Amino acid sequence: MNKSTLLFLSALSLFTFSNCGDGEKTDEIETADSVKTEEPKTNPVSETFFQVPSPGEMLTFIKMVGGKNNKNTTFLNPPSNEKNYTDPKLKAVNFGIYSCDLSYCSIFEIGSEALKYFKTVKTMGDQIGVSTAIKPEVLKRLESNIGSPDSLAVITDDVYFSSFETLENSKQGPTLALVVAGGWIESIYIATNLAKYEEKSPIIERLADQKYTLENLIEFLKKHESDPNVAAVKADFESLLIEFNKITEKDVEASAKDGGKTTMLGGGKQLVITEPVYKSIVEKIKAVRNSYTLTK
């Protein structure tokens, strides 16, 4: 998959994945008391989100290709860690991380844990200036839809995108950059905990494609690197990009059959990730992510 195609699909996925359950489209979503939930919010049409997918994008993809029965939460950031984040950088980054953990619990149908993570996201959201985006009544919606994963996914997407819009509209660019960075690193960290290396695995291929997303995320962080906290996170992500840059590219050609004849069409570049490179990326992701979540 080439870079321009990946960016288009990543942006497109933001408008489609939140409605996906087990690969089937649902025409309407019912709450526990048979009242329809509102339609998912239209995601913010901004340069950031066309370059950096939401945390739920990767997680929904994993579920769609075979991870639906996973209920493991041991690798998530425990809600009890919230009290350890006292400086602005860790508050913002971990707000993004916890938002991703909330999305994971919703997408993978772990409703009881989703309630815990929502409360943590609400607490941290109040601290970073997005309290107006996370209203108390959202908890009631979550409790009412505890047995409906599709509804939970829509609600948690609303929380994330509303927080994004609030930060963007209030001109809190550095905080927004840190939140987006936290959400992305956690989604990749979770993915690497769920996926074992297999050649030509769609999940491993998707993880390799994150090289392009990481490049775009670093460019977004550069816009706010005058803030020392953003500059520090950008340096961390640049060190991670060094590992992603070990992924090689190969030329591929597309073919089409016409009357039994095969015609070679123009091709593109495909990323090739070996097991040693994958393992080095996984270790670096773990190190960077844990530097934000483990403070003692």
Taking residues 277-288, what's their average pLDDT? 97
- Average pLDDT in the chain: 77
Flag whether pLDDT at 266 surpasses 70.
no
- pLDDT given for residue 249 in this prediction: 86
The three-state secondary structure class of 249 is strand
Q: pLDDT by residue (tens digit) across 71-86?
A: 889 999 999 999 999 9
- pLDDT given for residue 280 in this prediction: 97
Band of residue 135 on the pLDDT scale cut at 50, 70, 90? confident
Per DSSP, the residues of 36-99 read BPPPPPPPP--HHHHHS--HHHHHHHHIIIIITT----TTS--GGGGGG--SHHHHHHHHHHHH
Taking residues 241-254, what's their average pLDDT? 86
- pLDDT given for residue 147 in this prediction: 65
- pLDDT given for residue 66 in this prediction: 60
- pLDDT given for residue 251 in this prediction: 78
Taking residues 47-69, what's their average pLDDT? 66
- pLDDT given for residue 88 in this prediction: 94
- pLDDT given for residue 38 in this prediction: 40
- Tell me the percentage of the chain whose pLDDT exceeds 90: 40
Q: pLDDT by residue (tens digit) across 169-188?
A: 778 889 999 999 999 999 99
Tell me which range, 110-119, 180-189, 247-256, 262-271, is most confidently predicted by mean pLDDT.
Answer: 180-189
Q: What are the start-end ranges of the H helices in the chain?
A: 3-16, 47-51, 55-62, 88-107, 111-128, 137-144, 149-169, 173-194, 202-222, 228-244, 275-293
Whose tokens are 């997303």? That residue is 213
Flag whether pLDDT at 35 surpasses 50.
no
- pLDDT given for residue 162 in this prediction: 79
- pLDDT given for residue 68 in this prediction: 62
**Backbone φ/ψ region at 123: left (φ over 0), alpha (ψ -120 to 50), beta:** alpha
- pLDDT given for residue 8 in this prediction: 33
Entry pTM: 0.77
Flag whether pLDDT at 49 surpasses 50.
no
Domain spans of the chain? 3-22+37-245+274-293
Query: Looking at 64-78, 145-159, 163-177, which range is the least confident one?
Result: 145-159
- pLDDT given for residue 161 in this prediction: 76
Flag whether pLDDT at 31 surpasses 80.
no
User: d(Cα 163, Cα 161) in Å, to the nearest integer?
Assistant: 5
Q: pLDDT by residue (tens digit) across 87-122?
A: 999 999 999 999 999 989 888 888 889 889 989 998
User: d(Cα 271, Cα 241) in Å, to the nearest integer?
Assistant: 14
Query: Looking at 211-220, 260-269, 276-285, which range is the least confident one?
Result: 260-269
- pLDDT given for residue 15 in this prediction: 29
Taking residues 121-136, what's their average pLDDT? 84
